[in-house]
Amino acid sequence: MNQRKHFLMICLVLMLVFSLSGCKKQESRLEDGFYTVEMSDYNNGWKEFVTIRVSGNKIVTVEYNARNASGFIKSWDIPYMRNMLDKKGTYPNRYTRTYAANFLAAQSDKGIDAVTGASISGGNFQKMASLLMEKARKGDDSLGIVESDK
């Protein structure tokens, strides 16, 4: 009889462990679709945004950039690039690709390292990536807005 109680107790514990691990898996599932988040305000004339595509519970593409009020993309601004490279040692086309690649590789908003010379954008990217993960888990494809620090 004691062995039977012990066996039942082990079965119950195993069922509980498996049911909890199943719940955790459901919470982290990403819904297929496109998700976009942008900053609430322009910073020095640019509004940053990130768009991801999720397929098969994985982030398969990441686009990170900024645009001005007319829609011109920051990474295409050659004079801006030259000026920033001279002053900061990086430029938008480099750091946006780096942040996007790190996010894609990590499949998470955690562990994305800051790029020297682009730390403000890195902070913004981290906030946008966190909201993107939240939206992708919910399947909420509405535009997400991250409040700018002022």
Query: Tens place of pLDDT for every residue, the chain, 150 residues?
Result: 577 666 656 655 556 555 555 444 445 799 999 999 999 999 999 999 999 999 999 999 999 999 999 999 999 999 999 999 999 999 999 999 999 999 999 999 998 888 999 999 999 999 999 999 999 999 999 999 999 986
User: How far is 14 from 88, CA to CA, in rounded Å?
Assistant: 55
Specify the long-range contacts of residues 134-140, CB closer than 8 Å, at least 24 apart.
135/35, 135/37, 136/30, 136/31, 136/33, 136/35, 136/52, 136/54, 136/59, 137/27, 137/28, 137/29, 137/30, 137/31, 138/31, 139/31, 139/33, 140/35
What's the confidence (pLDDT) of residue 111?
82
What's the confidence (pLDDT) of residue 11?
55
What's the confidence (pLDDT) of residue 25?
44
With contact defined as beta carbons under 8 Å apart, do 81 and 97 qualify? no
| Sheet order of strands, 33-39 included | 58-67, 47-55, 33-39, 144-146
